[in-house]
Amino acid sequence: MNALLQIRPVFFGLFLLTVVSMAFALFYLERVLGLPPCPLCITQRLFVVLVGVFALLAALQNPQGWGRRAYATLCLVGAALGGAVAMRHIWLQNLPEELAPACGPSLEYMLETLPFSETFSVVMMGDGNCAETVWTFMGLSIPEQTLALFVVLAGVSVFQLLRKA
């Protein structure tokens, strides 16, 4: 088998993809363009980091058999949940202006003052900040690009899950 398609390098590549994605978000989108993340963007980033952590653990451990499938499943679940949040974000961005939700308090404020369950509910609903499309690349908004990332992460996870060796 090609050395790059062995279990450890594939999981490590998955980890590197998440690191590059987060570096792009933190350094280019936030620092260079000055775009602060909305609550749904932060949630998507948490799922990218979660997939990256699972992939790194798998790369370090180099599991075989059920261990490989367990790590691949964890990565797949993280990518699927992140993809669901990205789809919600894309849906909000495509709502007509009059149907977009009003802007709400910051995530930090909600975490400090509201119970976690209520904060989670408000974040998943999104707000006016989430409905704005503030930057595009090749015609794709940030959540659309993130959804594409989650599709790639899920695809690699499925490959790891279903492979024979």
Sequence-distant (6+) residues with CB within 8 A of 108 are none
Q: What is the pLDDT of residue 162?
A: 92
Say which residue, 80 or 92, is predicted with more confidence. Answer: 80
Identify the band that residue 106 occupies on the pLDDT scale cut at 50, 70 and 90.
low
Q: What's the confidence (pLDDT) of residue 124?
A: 61
| Continuous H helices in 24-132 | 39-61, 66-93, 107-113, 116-125, 128-131
Q: Provide the pLDDT for residue 7.
A: 87
pTM: 0.81
pLDDT at residue 58, as a whole number? 96
pLDDT at residue 24 is higher than 70: yes
pLDDT on residue 5:
74
Query: Taking 90 as the threshold, does the pLDDT of residue 98 lie above it?
Result: no
| Average pLDDT for 141-155 | 96
pLDDT in tens, 42-72: 899 999 999 999 999 999 999 999 999 999 9
Predicted confidence (pLDDT) at residue 137 exceeds the cutoff of 80: yes
